[in-house]
Structure 1
Amino acid sequence: MTISEIYAGFAAREARGVSPAYERLALAVSRDREMLALLGTLPPAKRQPNLLFGVVRFLGGPVEDPAAFRDYTLGNWPAVEAEMRTRATQTNEAGRCALLLPVLAALPQPLALLEVGASAGLCLYPDRYAYRYGEHLVGAGEPVLDCAATGVAPPARLPRVVWRAGLDLNPLDVTDPADVAWLDALVWPEHVHRRARLRAAASVAAAEPPLLVRGDLVDDLPALAAQAPRGATLVVFHTSVLYQVPAPRRRAFAELARGLPGHWIANEAPDVLPYAGLPRPPGAALFNVLALDGTPLAWTRSHGQAITWFA
């Protein structure tokens, strides 16, 4: 897939109806030879729209108007390029916990959670957030995570978590203002509710910071998993992470995750972690597949806003 096709696809499948600003930017970049040539000098994993737009926001550049965005990016390319080469899209969307909750609540309790690609670890606190599935409220406090659920009954209770740990090549510190600023820059411009949700979730995590380990998802996972307390159900999970991992490494990780004790929850795009015999997705937008131990269960939206159960 060409860089132009990546940006056009992002506009059509991810940003349309979700972020008009990013839809405009992605379409403009997809047609801009100079911008595409600059992006082509970066490694393939560093060319993605979310990374480019997040870096420009982080540096204080404009993302509402394509012309202003282009002028800023071209005029400040050395700074933009440097940030894109060193940073990664570590969108730490606590809203994804609403997708995990029906599975987590049904597993043998208590749980030992281990998130792969944990970023700052905000998804390690599904027991500390509140959830609203239509008219059904689960839990109490802030943030309240809204999710449209189809085909699945909302869980009656929150899971009980006794251990939480994360593995990431570059873990972020939820108590560090600079790291939180990067997370904020990754929230799409119009998403005021997601920005407020990020702040509320960061407050929850900062009150009891998780164990975050810098490491590789294959090489370092077994040692971290071995630290989980006995008597708790180990749950290794990840959401929208494996697209950043080369395909051979993905396969090695999937084989490893299947062999660990406990359970493995994956929430990834179907072209990233494929499954045979999937039903048609419920729309033309980008959907992930929620799976437990390699068995697909539901279609999900990337920020946790909807889940459509088919299992």
Structure 2
Amino acid sequence: MQPMTELDAETLRDYYRTFARVEATDTSPIYTAWAEGVAADDEIIARLLALPRPKRQANLLFAAARHLGAGERSYADLRSWLLEHWTQTRDLMLARSTQTNEAGRCATLLPALSRIDGPLALIEVGASAGLCLYPDRYSYRYTITEAAGPATSACTAEPDPARTVRLDPSSGPSPVLIDCELSNASAPRGLPDVAWRAGIDLNPIDITDAREREWLRSLVWPEHDVRRERLIAAAALVAEDPPRLVRGDLLETIEAVLAEVPASTQPIVFHSAVLAYIGAEARAEFETLMRSREDVVWISNEGAQVLPDIGAQVEAGASGGHAADGRFVLAVDGEAIALTGPHGQSYEGLADREHA
């Protein structure tokens, strides 16, 4: 193992400070305090640095600790628990990954999907358990607002019926109802016609396995009760008709899965909060591949820094009032069209890029 340097430690401390300030603030007081605590804790930082780089993530550390029984108390309590149970925590972090499967993101994908003529063939990269492969099986309630603003935990306020649009599957209201604030955009006209669906993941999660569902629940942040309830409902729905999930690296697997797409369907490749977990070179290679496939519609929903060419479009429009503020950038075929809440809680269309 390479010796740890002060530069390594400071980089990790800065990551945890940024996580607290940008991702957790205003949405999880517990994770904000925990991340700030880790950033200032030399001993925990040293233990994290002994792990492979992808395993040092705040979401993974905090989910593993809660999964193993650390509770949801102060950072001092977490620290004491981690020092006592570090071996078990480390082993779980090495065995698991942050495969948060947030069905709520379908609300921010739907405005793009609803504009594409079907029938559609959906391929999700980084599918986890595949809950986002079922945008046609969920109900949605869009609350029209003046501006979505920075990401918050969820749309938990009681919606104003005069300013809401509800969409249900043709079979009737779904047990999964997803709320989303919508600004500077028109509400989707309907749900997509999905004829075929498949997902790709390095470690697909079997949603019919109770232990796997429990890990997914641990990945939901402590205060996010609405998300937790939605996960339980979506998991039950999808378990009745599990998706085809292909184990493999996205670059090595995507072409083979695309070759399976039925004739007379429109292939859609999409992903949310996935590409940040692979290297910059692989991200660039994947982007090049997607741009080269004129037969495929590519929908990306990632952090503003993950795909620099797309993120730059938001920066270019920032003077007009748009800033990511911790939100994702939704893009279709490389064109940024909206800023979205990381858990699907908001959708703000970008001026001059929303097409009715």
Residue 273 (structure 1) aligned to one of 307, 326, 336? 307
- 8 Å CA contact 2:125, 2:199 repeated in 1: yes
Pairwise mapping of residues 220-239 of structure 1 onto structure 2 (< 5 A)?
Answer: 220-239=253-272
Deviation at 1:142, TM superposition (A): 1.9
Alpha-carbon distance in 2 for matches of 1:277, 1:132? 29
Alpha-carbon distance in 1 for matches of 2:322, 2:25? 16
Specify every segment of 5 or more residues in structure 1 that has no aligned partner in the other structure, as ranges. Answer: none
Specify every segment of 5 or more residues in structure 2 that has no aligned partner in the other structure, as ranges. Answer: 1-9, 144-163
Alpha-carbon distance in 2 for matches of 1:7, 1:110? 43
SS in 2 for 1:264: strand
Aligned to 1:259: 292
1:146 maps onto 2:175 in alignment: no
Distance 1:264 1:283, change over 3 A: closer
Deviation at 1:258, TM superposition (A): 2.0
Deviation at 1:225, TM superposition (A): 1.0
% identical equivalent positions: 46
Deviation at 1:203, TM superposition (A): 1.2
TM-score, scaled to structure 2:
0.85
Pairwise mapping of residues 61-72 of structure 1 onto structure 2 (< 5 A)?
Answer: 61-72=70-81
Q: Deviations over 1:191-245 (max 9, x none)?
A: 1111100011111111110000100100111001111111111000000001100
Alpha-carbon distance in 2 for matches of 1:244, 1:64? 28
**Structure of higher CA gyration radius:** 2
Deviation at 1:102, TM superposition (A): 0.5
Alpha-carbon distance in 2 for matches of 1:204, 1:291? 28
Query: Letter of the aligned partner of 1:176 in structure 2?
Result: D
TM-score, scaled to structure 1:
0.97
Aligned to 2:236: 203
Alpha-carbon distance in 2 for matches of 1:60, 1:112? 41
Deviation at 1:141, TM superposition (A): 1.7
Deviation at 1:45, TM superposition (A): 1.2
What is the number of equivalent residue pairs in this alignment? 311
Alpha-carbon distance in 1 for matches of 2:291, 2:175? 34
Aligned to 1:301: 341
- 8 Å CA contact 1:22, 1:63 repeated in 2: no
Q: Deviations over 1:59-90 (max 9, x none)?
A: 12123211111111111111111111121100
1:168 maps onto 2:201 in alignment: yes
Query: Letter of the aligned partner of 2:252 in structure 1?
Result: D
Alpha-carbon distance in 2 for matches of 1:88, 1:299? 26
Alpha-carbon distance in 2 for matches of 1:296, 1:180? 33
Alpha-carbon distance in 2 for matches of 1:234, 1:76? 46
SS in 2 for 1:99: helix
Q: Deviations over 1:255-309 (max 9, x none)?
A: 1122232200000111111223322275674111000011111111100001111
Aligned to 1:290: 330
RMSD: 1.2
Query: Where has structure 1 moved over 6 Å in runs of 4 or more?
Result: none
Alpha-carbon distance in 1 for matches of 2:277, 2:91? 18
